[in-house]
Structures are given as C-alpha cells and as structure tokens.
Amino acid sequence: MTRIRTGRWAACLCLLFLWQSHLAAQPVALTNVDILDLSGAAAQLRRDQSVIVNDGIITAVATTGELDLPADARHIDGDGGTLIPGLIDSHVHIWDQADLPAYLSYGITTVRNMSGMPYLLDYQQQIGQGQLTGPRLLTTGPILNSPGPNAQLNHQLVETPDAAREAVRWQYARGFRTVKVYSNLSRAAYEAILDEADILGMAITGHPPEGKREPGIPEERPFDIAFDELLDDDFVTLEHVESIVWHALYDRQDHEALQQLAGRLAAAGVTVSPTLVAHHNLVRAASEKDAFVSRPGTELMNPFLAQVEAPLVASWTALPPGTRKDYDAFYADAVRAFQDAGVRMVAGSDAGIFVNIPGQSLLDELDLLVGAGLSPAQALRTATTQAAAALGLDDLGRIAAGYRAELLLLPGNPLDDMTVLQRPRGLMYQDEWFDAEALAALRREAIATADAARTEAQVMSALAEQQSLAMPQGTNATPSPPRAQQSR
C-alpha cells in the first residue's frame, strides 16, 4: 500500500492506513518530472517524464502523455521538479533509533553504519519490516583493531590469530556479514581476520591496516604492513583519504607520489570512500570555533555522543585558525587524482561523530567533491550508481523499470545548482511518499525522540558484550572513547 505523508495530516490518517492495509497495493503515478539519468558515461536529463510504481518497484518510465496510467493509480504531480535516485551514504555512525529519521529527511534512503553493535541488527530488521522509520541500514560488525594509538572503546581489540578468528566467528554468529578492520591491526591478527572472513563468506572493509606502530614509524621506519599489500585483499571500500595518504604516502604531501598511487589504486580496482568532510570539519572547527561546532543542524547530533565528543571538540576549537588547511587542500588534490585515474569512489560522511550532522554531512561531502574538481554528475554518482554497485545493491541507484522506487524530488537540476539538494520537494521510500512538510517533520522527530540516557544504556550494554573479546589477557592498553577520524 502506498502512503502519502504530509506533516499536518500524517497522524490523522493513521487509522485510514490501518484500514487500507489489507487491500492490494495501489499503484502510484508520479507525473510531470524531469529525470536525471546518471547511469551512462554522460548524465542525461529526460524532460517531462512519468513513473509508475507498484509495490515499491518501478514498473514503467516514459514521457508524460505517452504512458498509460493505471486507472486506480494514486497521482503525485511532480510540478516540473527533477527526480533523482535516493541517496546512499556509505559511511555513517548510528547510535540510536532517533538518529535514523534525520537521514531520510535529507533524501538518504540507504546508510552503511561503520561501527556495528548487536542492537543495530534489530534496527535493520525493524526498518525492513516497516516497524521503524529510517533509511535502509547496512552495518559492519564491531571494529576490529589491535592495541595502539587508534584503539577506541568501541573496538574489539585482537592481537593473536586465535583471538582474531574468535572475534570474526563471534560477529558472524551475531548476524554480521561485513568485517571492519582498523589502522593498528597487527599483521598476525589481520591475516587471520582475512582468512576467517573468507571461510565464513564475510566481506572486508575499513581503514588500511598498517601493523603495530613501533617507535619511529613512519618517519624513520616503514610500516609493518605495506599499503600495497592491501590492494588485492578485496576490500569493499578503503576508508578515508587521510588514512590512505598517511599509510600509502607516509603522510607526505607529494603530488608525484600521489599520481602514482592513484594509478595503482585504479589498476587494482580498489573502491575508495574519501570522507573529505570528516577532516574538513576538524579544520573548520579550528578556524571558525564555536560558530561552527554549534551551527544550525547540530541539534540533530546524538546527545550522548555529543557529550562523549565534547573534549575532542574543545581540543580542536582551541587550535589556531588554519590548522591542517594544507592537508585539507592536499586531500582534495588526492580525490581529483583518484577521479582522473579512474578510481571508483563512493560518498561517505562519517556522520554521527564529532560535529558531522546526520544527512547534512553527505550534502557537504558532495559539495567538497565538486570543489575538489569532480563534476556535479561525477559527485552525484558517488552517492547513487557507484555506491549501489560498490555495496552490491543491484536494484538501487537508477530510475528505471525493475529498480526500487526510492525517488528524491528536487526543485531543480542539481547539475546546474547543487544547492537544490538542500530543498527537497518530496521523497518516495518503502512505498510511502513524504512531501516537503513531512520531510521537515522527520527532522523534528529526530530531535524530539533523542534520549541520551537510552542511547548510553544500549551502547554500554553492547560494549560490555563486545568487550568479552576485546581485551586480550596481559595487555595494558586502555582504549579511548569513540572519536572523530583523525589523520593518524
């Protein structure tokens, strides 16, 4: 059954929806739209189109007036707006169910959570069954790392092959199917993770593991695990351009070496999630201080994580303006080099940590990609067609018959003006139509239902379960709380 939400009438119509739920699904005819097709080598804008949807699947797309509309169809007039596929954010951090509506309010219909906890699998199921309002939720398992400078409280810390295999099996038994690896994994643990994940059919993604950080690395000694060793390890994505520059280029701003690196990544078929916005927001915090970290939209940040991140936020706002701006520019150059070399990239925002606003941060990432030299079409592909292909979502990322009807209606063509992404007119998702007022209501819902105590209780419970494997006997390492991605 197709539902149409407006902020004013959604509550009043709930009884009608329940009464209708036993009826056959009603087709939807979305008419009078321009469709932006990003699937080919050149983006195409198809004017004056109509889309027929049945049971959440696109069944027909054609020029308005040339398409026979089902007699019983529910009509939605697109009023000449531009229709694009629902957006995909390939790197977020979800801590509570209240985080979820914010993503939908920005037209994001799929998110990939990159720091798994068992209760997120419950969210995943509830969203799929329509019991919880939120985007499609993909999630890795808990982050696998070894003790070292980047160890955090939400990591499962493993050093030996046996501990690493046990952790992978634990994640598989809980229902996770993707393993996220992290920077400080020892060689022995990392190789065991790869092998055990292969045995169980689990995918690998995450930071490029560098091995144990001995004194003098990388200034005087090489990393224990060379970056190029990872290129044939079948990562779904390698995360964070700053992590790649740190490991592959030894943190040097070397443009010649960067071009060579881009070529190797492209030749190996590696997919990169740059998350430019993650580092950029650190730089902005140092330069713009409280005006940035308390900017409009930060009320969508999870209140418990805001408390956890407060010391880190304070440390960055205390730094001199201009801190790491040179690195910020080099990371943009890296993204341009990757694009020019043919490296597939997907858009990720690292939303949900530091002051990276859920939903808004993906739009900021797309703007940064354009600022780095990508065309608007190339940037949009990182959050639609390329993301869908990288994540194995074969029925997403296009507006064509047979694809899921996850449709974002904009007031104009984003190829001409990317700011239209900030003003969506409507969204179709899970056979439901959200008009602009209903999208704004989702944002209010995210704020109103946030509960720091609830988030803390479920996070700490999950961490207690995960930590049964997290600290190998005999280690004196004390992990720090979850924190924003940094350059080390």
Using CB atoms within 10 Å of the CB of residue 320, give its burial: 0 to 12 exposed, 13 to 18 middle, 19+ buried. exposed
Contact between residue 455 and residue 95 where contact means Cβ atoms under 8 Å apart:
yes
Packing angle of the helix pair 325-341, 360-371 (nearest 10 deg): 80
| pLDDT reported for residue 481 | 47
Q: How confident is the model at residue 153 (pLDDT cuts 50, 70, 90)?
A: confident
| pLDDT reported for residue 488 | 56
Comparing 179-188, 321-330, 458-467, which segment has the lowest mean pLDDT? 458-467
**What are the E-state strand segments in 13-118?**
28-37, 44-54, 57-63, 74-77, 82-85, 87-92, 108-113
- Sorted by where each starts, the structural domains of the chain and their CATH numbers stand as 3-85+404-446 (2.30.40.10), 87-393+450-466 (3.20.20.140)
Residue range 136-148: average pLDDT?
97
Query: In this predicted model, which residue has the larger pLDDT, 485 or 249?
Result: 249
Give the H/E segment covering residue 143.
Answer: strand 143-145
| pLDDT reported for residue 65 | 86
Between CA 325 and CA 318 the distance in angstroms is 15
Q: How confident is the model at residue 134 (pLDDT cuts 50, 70, 90)?
A: very high
| pLDDT reported for residue 439 | 98
R_g of the chain, CA atoms, integer Å: 22
pLDDT digits (tens, 9 = 90+) for 93-126: 999 999 999 999 999 999 999 999 999 999 999 9
Give the count of alpha carbons within 13 A of 152, CB side only. Answer: 18
| pLDDT reported for residue 486 | 53
pLDDT digits (tens, 9 = 90+) for 49-108: 999 999 999 999 999 988 888 889 999 999 999 999 999 999 999 999 999 999 999 999
| pLDDT reported for residue 467 | 79
| pLDDT reported for residue 24 | 54
pLDDT digits (tens, 9 = 90+) for 3-29: 666 554 444 444 344 434 434 578 999
Please, which residues have CB within 8 angstroms of residue 215's CB and are 6 or more apart in sequence?
Answer: 221
pLDDT digits (tens, 9 = 90+) for 339-389: 999 999 999 999 999 999 999 999 999 999 999 999 999 999 999 999 999
Give the H/E segment covering residue 304.
Answer: helix 303-317
